[in-house]
Structure formats: C-alpha cells, structure tokens
C-alpha cells in the first residue's frame, strides 16, 4: 500500500472519539440492514476532522466481507484514483466496486442491481441537479443512491460546497432524505493539522470576513506571512526537500498575461495544476511542485506544508479591517453556473468562494505560508504578522 495514502486514510491507533463513532455507526448499519428502509448514515464534520479515516475503517470492514453487496463512490477524480490505489492493497477488496457516482447509478439502474451498503466520501460533491454533460440525467444523485441501497453512508461538509451544480445545504439534504430513516454522526474534533482550535478559528474568521487579528502562536503549527509569492515558493521548495508533500496553492482570478493563464505575482510564475488521467494523484507527482494546486486536485488530501496565494478575488476593507470577497474577479465561471430550480444571491456566491480559500488553507498538517495578490490585503497581513513577532 502506498505509504502516503496509508498514513492519510488508515490510522493504526484510532482515537477514542473515532472508535466511538465507528461503534455507533456499526450499530446503526446493522439495524438498517435488518429493516431494509433505505436508511442514511451521515458523517458530518469540518475539514481535517478525520471523516475519511472513519469511513475507510467501515469500508475495510464491510467491503471485504462477501456477505454484503457494497460499493464506495466519490465524485472527486483525484480521490477516486487514491481509493482505487488503496483498494488494490486491501485483502479481499474488489477494486471494481470503487466507482464514480454517475457510473454506479447508470450501471445499477440499467442492470437492476441493488446494494446492501453504498459508502460515499465527499458527498457534498454529489450532483443535486441533472448534469447531462457528465452523463448524469437524474435529478439528485443522493436520491438515486438511496433507491439502490438498504443504507447509504455519506460524508458531508457543507463548508466544502463550491459550485451550484453540487449545491448542498442542510435544508436540501433533509428535503432529499425526506421520510427515510437517518442518523447524524458528528465529528467535531480536529486531526489533520497540528494547529490549535484558536488557529483553526483564525482561518475561519479570515474567510468569514471578520476583523483581522494576529495569528495565535499556541501550537507547533508553523505560520508565516510573506510580502512576495516568490518567497513563499522558495520556502515551500525547502520544506518539500526536507519532508516532502509541500505544494503551492491559490484561489482563482489571476489575469491572463500575454495569452498565458498562469498564477503570476512578483517573481512567481507557475501554471495551474493539470488534469492527468494517470493513476498517480496530483500531490504525489514530482512535477506538481512546479504547478499551483486547486480544490480540483487537493480537496480531501493532506499536505505537510501549504504555500497559499490568496488570489485577486479577495481584497481589503480598511473601514472594517477585514478581508473582502469580490465575485466579479473570480475567473472560474463554473462556480456561477445557473440552475433552473433555484437562484443564488451574490452573498451565496461569496460563500462558495470563501469555502475554496478555507479548504485550501487547511490542507497543510504542519504549516501554512501565506501571501495575497491584493496589495492592501497583503500589507495588512504582513503588518499583523510582523507586529506579532
């Protein structure tokens, strides 16, 4: 088994909290299999709370038992690759049962196939509308999955919703599960980062456009602010040489320059991450050190250190001493795709954009190196950082 993936998704010594959640879920899954009422088990928690670790322990338990008809689905292409890699090295695991949700739904409906348990990681990426371009012609993937299984075990984080076609909030979730039996398993403990609760709260406050303050220094988590993206990159390269899995990331909005759509700022100029059909996921590729990661390659994955460039769609309001979000500068238009069944407000689009930044900042287990494209925002962040020192 790949050691990097094993470290992220399988933990030899589960915490008491994780063991407790797994025990409760086993009880609920057992009851649901007896009742055959298309039940739902919801694993809910913020980024870094160990949701995937709990899910994979359940996957390893049930998907290697031939007494159950099971499947694992995820709509994130990079995570799909990772799970297929993991599945190959788990004894008695049928890798063919690890699928993208559209593929599973279309195949099961065509062949009248039913399941005992369907596991869904990153369920906030399920389509909540028809998406013919992606060969999905249903109206809601969670509804379709529930109809195919006695119980669906889903991982949700509503703060990781970035696009209208994958829009989920609590109201839509409960409307979708409607009269089906369900139970929520809350995971409100932070495991990914060595950061303290106060440091995680600082990241949340930043993206919530609250007044800026100095980053708390009360853990071993390494936080630095730089005046240039070039300096961030030099430090990331150093960390990558020392401990590996250290990458540059950024949010959308960088202008095209001479026909190039790279991330360009001061001395820094690198291309965006590239989709690649190869089985190795982006963060593990040697070449990804000289590219800039996005949610499309990093959502659901751990890094050791993150070099974060806050893009042009974020500014600074001196009157409120807070970061601002400027949707019209966000260049990735997929986020604004219209739906027939609902309209999104400007404030909702701002939440989508804020969620992207929040998730990317929290990819690093041991440290975050930060800068911003907007001059005023960058200067204020540098000022707070240097005054704290």
pLDDT score for 146: 97
Per-residue pLDDT at 139 exceeds 70: yes
Q: What is the Cα–Cα distance from 46 to 156, expressed in whole angstroms?
A: 9
Q: Calculate the CA dihedral of residues 199, 204, 207, 208 and round it to 10 degrees.
A: -130
pLDDT score for 371: 98
Residues in contact with 283: Cβ distance below 8 Å, sequence separation at least 6, in sequence order: 78, 245, 247, 293, 297, 298, 301, 303
Name the residue among 315, 301, 319 with its Cα closest to residue 360.
Answer: 301
Per-residue pLDDT at 300 exceeds 80: no
Name the residue among 360, 352, 354 with its Cα closest to residue 335.
Answer: 352
Handedness of CA 367, 275, 265, 337 (dihedral sign): negative
pLDDT score for 10: 57
Which token pair is 315? 């500014």
For the chain, what is the mean pLDDT?
89
Count of C-beta atoms within a 10 Å radius of residue 351: 19
Count of C-beta atoms within a 10 Å radius of residue 92: 9
pLDDT score for 189: 61
Per-residue pLDDT at 1 exceeds 50: no
User: What is the average pLDDT across 74-95?
Assistant: 86
pLDDT band at 298 (very low <50, low <70, confident <90, very high): confident
What are the tens digits of pLDDT across the range 262-296?
999 999 999 999 766 666 778 888 889 999 999 88
Which token pair is 193? 């980062």
What are the tens digits of pLDDT across the range 141-156?
999 999 999 999 999 8
From 113-127, 214-228, 281-295, 357-371, the region with the lowest mean pLDDT:
281-295
Per-residue pLDDT at 332 exceeds 70: yes
State the burial class of residue 13 (Cβ atoms within 10 Å of its Cβ: 0-12, 13-18, 19+): exposed
Q: Which residues make up the CATH 3.40.50.300 domain(s) of the chain?
A: 3-187
Please check whether residue 249 is in contact with residue 292, taking contact to mean a CB–CB distance below 8 angstroms. Answer: yes
Which has more pLDDT, 269 or 197? 269
Which token pair is 88? 């190959």
CATH code of the region 3-187: 3.40.50.300
Please check whether residue 263 is in contact with residue 270, taking contact to mean a CB–CB distance below 8 angstroms. Answer: yes
Name the residue among 9, 199, 191 with its Cα closest to residue 93.
Answer: 9
Q: What is the Cα–Cα distance from 284 to 109, expressed in whole angstroms?
A: 35
């Amino acid at each position: 088994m790949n050691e990097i993936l094993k470290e992220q998704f399988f933990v030899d010594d589960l915490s008491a909290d994780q063991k407790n959640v797994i025990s409760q879920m086993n009880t609920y899954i057992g009851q649901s299999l007896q009742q055959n009422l298309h039940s739902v088990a919801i694993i809910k928690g913020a980024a870094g709370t160990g949701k995937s670790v709990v899910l994979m322990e359940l996957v390893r338990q049930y998907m290697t038992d031939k007494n159950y008809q099971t499947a694992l689905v995820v709509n994130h292409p990079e995570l799909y690759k990772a799970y297929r890699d993991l599945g190959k090295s788990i004894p008695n695991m049928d890798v063919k049962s690890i699928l993208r949700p559209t593929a599973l739904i279309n195949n099961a409906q065509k062949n009248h196939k039913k399941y005992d348990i369907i596991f869904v990681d990153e369920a906030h990426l399920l389509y909540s509308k028809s998406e013919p371009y992606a060969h999905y012609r249903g109206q809601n993937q969670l509804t379709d999955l529930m109809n195919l299984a006695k119980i669906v075990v889903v991982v949700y984080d509503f703060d990781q919703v970035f696009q209208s076609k994958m829009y989920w909030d609590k109201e839509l979730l409960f409307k979708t599960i409607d009269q089906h039996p369900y139970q929520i398993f809350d995971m409100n403990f932070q495991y990914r980062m060595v950061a303290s609760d106060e440091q995680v709260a600082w990241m949340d406050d930043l993206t919530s456009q609250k007044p800026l303050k100095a980053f708390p220094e009360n853990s071993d988590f390494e936080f630095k602010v730089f005046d240039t993206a070039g300096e961030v990159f030099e430090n990331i390269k150093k960390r990558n040489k020392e401990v590996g899995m250290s990458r540059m990331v950024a949010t959308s909005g960088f202008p095209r320059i001479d026909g190039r759509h790279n991330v360009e700022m001061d001395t820094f100029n690198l291309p965006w991450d590239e989709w690649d059909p190869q089985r190795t996921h982006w963060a593990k590729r040697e070449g990804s050190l000289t590219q800039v990661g996005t949610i499309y390659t990093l959502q659901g994955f751990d890094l050791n250190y993150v070099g974060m460039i806050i893009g042009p769609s974020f500014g600074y309001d001196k009157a409120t001493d807070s970061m601002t979000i400027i949707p019209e500068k966000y260049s990735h238009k997929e986020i604004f795709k219209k739906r027939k069944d609902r309209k999104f407000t400007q404030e909702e689009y701002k939440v989508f954009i804020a969620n992207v930044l929040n998730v990317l900042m929290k990819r690093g287990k041991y440290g975050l190196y930060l800068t911003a494209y907007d001059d005023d925002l960058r200067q204020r962040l540098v000022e707070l950082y240097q005054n704290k020192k």
